[in-house]
């Protein structure tokens, strides 16, 4: 069974640009969550999608957005990039979010210059 | 908002030693989970706890869900070099609610 796949793995952007990250969950998993990981702040919850609906949302500005498609694949977008957006963005899937048991991808490492 | 406290930020132990980590919160959680992240990888679930007082083992790992539902601990016995990584605790307040993660403890194991 294939794991969670995130693309791209690495990317470099400049301030003011926008970026889209993609996540393919484990087959059959309907819940996809996104987290931002930075050395000082650990794992910060961005949002969770279940059956194409945003079910939970973290405390990030509106520049961070996401969506989920009918095949459960998800994308997150960050507009007007800031230096502080440099981080590892992790996607996690689960059959549902009832239990809190998540399966993480390897992440997309974003560097903003 | 909800916060989970993990300290210290880093731990250094000798191979073969046992190590304990704890995680505390000012809020009650109904589920406690422990994840481990290896360098360059995403976190992997180690143990999930669903009932206050529950003690669960997974090989050399043992974790407990605190009676107050505001804390949990993880114990690693007879550490080996591959135990190196970042250990995160996470709590979930209720079904389908978001997970809150601690900031993690980086474990180093000296051969």
pLDDT band at A97 (very low <50, low <70, confident <90, very high): low
* 3-state class (DSSP) for residue B82: helix
Pick from B70, B71, B72, B79: nearest CA to B110:
B79
Match 């505001």 to its residue by tokens. Answer: B70
- Counting as low any pLDDT under 50, the low residues of chain B are none
Give strand pairing partners of B11.
B107
What stretches of chain A show up as alpha helix (H) in DSSP?
Answer: none
Mean pLDDT of chain A: 94
pLDDT band at A105 (very low <50, low <70, confident <90, very high): very high
pLDDT band at A41 (very low <50, low <70, confident <90, very high): confident
Token pair in block for residue B38: 């290896």
Whether B90 and A100 lie within 8 Å, measured CB to CB: yes
CA distance A76 to B63: 34
Q: How many CA atoms lie within 13 A of B94 on its CB side?
A: 1
CA distance B18 to B77: 4
Evaluate whether A79 touches A112 at the Cβ level (below 8 Å).
no
A42 to chain B: closest CA residue: B103
Interface residues of A toward B, Cβ cutoff 8 Å, are: 4, 33, 35, 41-45, 48, 50, 55-56, 58-59, 90, 92, 96-107
A50 to chain B: closest CA residue: B96
Contacts of A90 in chain B (CB under 8 A): 42-43
Evaluate whether A21 touches A74 at the Cβ level (below 8 Å).
no
Token pair in block for residue A12: 């470099």
Whether A100 and B100 lie within 8 Å, measured CB to CB: no
Give strand pairing partners of B56.
B63
CA B30 from centroid of its chain's CA atoms: 15
Instruction: Indicate the residue of A96, A98, A107 with minimum beta-carbon distance to B42.
Output: A107
Distance from CA of B78 to the nearest CA of A (A): 26
Lowest mean pLDDT among A4-13, A33-42, A61-70, A101-110: A33-42
pLDDT at B97: 82
Phi and psi dihedrals of A86, rounded to 5?
-60, 125
């Amino acid at each position: 069974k294939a794991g969670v796949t995130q693309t791209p793995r690495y990317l470099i952007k400049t301030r003011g640009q926008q970026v889209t990250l993609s996540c393919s969950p484990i087959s059959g998993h309907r819940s996809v969550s996104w987290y931002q990981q930075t050395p000082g702040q650990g794992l910060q919850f961005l949002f969770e999608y279940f059956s194409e609906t945003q079910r939970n949302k973290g405390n990030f500005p509106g520049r961070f957005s996401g969506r989920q498609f009918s095949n459960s694949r998800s994308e997150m977008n960050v507009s007007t990039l800031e230096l502080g957006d440099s981080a590892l963005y992790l996607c996690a899937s689960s059959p549902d979010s009832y239990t809190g048991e998540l399966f993480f991808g390897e992440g997309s490492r974003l560097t903003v210059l | 908002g909800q916060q989970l406290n993990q300290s210290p930020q880093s731990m250094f132990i000798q191979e073969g030693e046992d190590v304990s980590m704890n995680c505390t919160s000012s809020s009650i959680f109904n589920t406690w989970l422990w994840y481990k992240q290896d360098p360059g990888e995403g976190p992997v679930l180690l143990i999930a706890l669903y009932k206050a007082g529950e003690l669960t083992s997974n090989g050399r790992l043992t974790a407990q869900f605190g009676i107050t539902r505001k804390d949990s601990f993880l114990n690693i016995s007879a550490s080996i070099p591959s135990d190196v990584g970042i250990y995160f605790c996470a709590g979930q307040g209720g079904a389908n609610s978001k997970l809150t993660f601690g900031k993690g403890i980086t474990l180093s194991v000296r051969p």
